[in-house]
Structures are given as C-alpha cells and as structure tokens.
Amino acid sequence: MSNLDPSVYFFVFGLLAGLARAELRLPTAIYEFLSALLLLSIGLKGGVELAREPAPGLALDVLVIIGLGIGLTLIAFGILRYVGRLPRVDAASISAHYGSVSVATFAVGIAYLTRANIPYEPTLSLFLVILEVPAILVGILLAKSRSSRTSWPHLLREVFLGRGILLLLGGLVIGWLSGPDAIKPIAPLFFDLFKGILAMFLLEMGLIAASQLGGFLRYGLFLAAFAVVIPIAFGCIGALVGMALDLSLGGAVLLAILTASASYIAAPAAMRTAVPQANPAMSLTAVLAITFPFNVIFGIPLYHRLVESLYG
C-alpha cells in the first residue's frame, strides 16, 4: 500500500477530473469556507503549542525562524524571476509556496522519526505555523510592490488585514490565549476534521490547476528541476539553522524537513485570495506532483543522513 497522504489523491482526482472536463466543481462559498477552516486550524494549532511553552525562552528562536522563512522566500523568488524568467506574480506566488511549509510532509517526518525512535523538541510544531506567515506575507508584497496604483500604507494594510494572513494570525492568537484545555470544545471541528477538510480543499485545487495547466507546461522543464533542487538546498539550510539553534538531532531533522517542504494548504488559500491573477497550476503542480512525492520517498531519509553527518 502507498504511504502517501490520502489527501494528495484528492488533488490528483480533481486534476484528472478537470483534464477530462468532468462536471465537477465545488460552489465558491464552500471553497471559501474550507479555506477559512484550514487557515484557522493551522493558526490554532500553533497558538496552542505557543501556550504550552514559556514565551521568553522562545523569543530568539522565533525571530530566527521568521528570518529563515523570509530568506527562503527571497531566494526562491530570485531564482524563479531572474533565472526562470517567470512573470512577477507567478514567481511571487510560487516563492510563497516554497518559503512556506507542508503540514503533510511534517506529519510524515514525525512518523519517520517515531519509527526510528529519534526524539525531537515539541516546539517544532510551533515552528511549523510560524514558517507559514513570513513566506505568504513576503510573497504578497513581492507580487504587489511594483503596482503604481498601490501605496505602501495601503499595501501593508491589505497584507496584514487580508483574509489569509488575518485568519492565520487570528487563529494563532486565539489558540495562544485559550491554551490546550480551553480549546477542546472546538477541537472536533478544527482538529479532528482537519484531514477531511484538507481533502475537499485539494479536490477543488486540483480542478483549478487542471483549468490552468497550460501555464505550467510553458515553464515545465525549469519548474520540474526547481521542484527537486530547491527542496534539497532548503533542507541543507534548515539543517544548518537547526544546528545553530542547538536543536537535538531529531529537531534538526524535522527543521530540515520543514524547510525542504512546500505549502499546499495555507499558501494556496492565502495567495489565491490576495493574488488571484497568479496561475495556481504552476505552484500546486510543482509542489504536489514533484516536491511532495520527492520529499516523502527520497528527501526525508536524505535529510536525516545529512543531519547525522553534521552532528558527527
């Protein structure tokens, strides 16, 4: 049996149905509801983890992780825009996906470490959520900063009060203020149903990707190479940052897995809302068709061996 996350097959199903021009599409209101639930769920999980940890001890680590997310996004954008010659909005959207992280890849990494009996710090769950926001924020800024019709005050207001960022940060604050015990009454909706909501969201994203697949095919060879090389490079950066933060071997492996991954939940939802003119087929097909399977099958063991060699 396959060890891929079942929700990935919903994306494939939607992609194939869209390519076959099947009569299948989620109503817009349902799609928006699903994306809101996903963004809030991710924020709430990070807030709960933050409530469990003493904030002063985490302050420096959090700042480093925020800087890491910004740096990875800028690196990806530079390669996509100036090497791949992609349109600015598409380069910004894809860089937000690759500067951000994948919950599913993180879950597979945890299962890998558990099977290998390798412990890791619980704060990695918090890092997972923190890494979502900087990449999305920078991606939106990169996509819109050249617009002559948008002033910087208006742009910053649009970014911070935009639907995607607002839901992520709102969930983070609510989770932090509530804590793990008070959050339990709403956990069935936001946590227990997370995988089912994710599956339905990816079904719709597969349909959207199929409708705009031509944009990916135009840059297919370059994006295919990008989708394999960048995870390896970003995984190396994550491993080095893990060492600098004095994480355990398991913690550094998980951070490498996180930085090597690419978002197919928060980033697509946020970027589709904030930058609707970007082609989602280019980002989602690269992430889900290439990067995610590569990381799950080859990348995670590779990052483990890399960190082991660094830790001696």
**pLDDT band with cut points at 50, 70 and 90 for residue 215:** low
Range of lowest pLDDT (26-40, 63-77, 136-150): 136-150
Q: How far, in Å, CA of 77 to CA of 18, rounded? A: 29
Q: In the chain, what percentage of residues exceed pLDDT 70? A: 89
- Three-state helix/strand/coil letters over 189-240: HHHHCHHHHHHHHHHHHHHHHHHCHHHHHHCHHHHHHHHHHHHHHHHHHHHH
Q: Which residue has the tokens 């599956």?
A: 199
Q: How far, in Å, CA of 32 to CA of 34, rounded? A: 5
pLDDT higher at 116 or 11: 116
CATH placement of domain 25-311:
1.20.1530.20
**pLDDT band with cut points at 50, 70 and 90 for residue 193:** confident
Judged against a pLDDT cut of 60, whether residue 243 lies above it is answered with yes
Q: What is the pLDDT of the chain when averaged over all its residues?
A: 85
Angle between helices 163-182 and 28-52 (to 10 degrees): 50
Q: How far, in Å, CA of 41 to CA of 189, rounded? A: 9
pLDDT higher at 273 or 108: 108
Q: pLDDT value at position 1?
A: 44
pTM of the model: 0.77
Domain boundaries of the chain, sorted by first residue? 25-311
Q: In the chain, what percentage of residues exceed pLDDT 90? A: 33
- Residues whose CB is less than 8 angstroms from the CB of residue 276 and which lie 6 or more positions away in sequence, other chains included: none
pLDDT digits (tens, 9 = 90+) for 77-130: 999 999 999 999 999 999 999 999 988 888 888 888 988 899 888 788 888 878
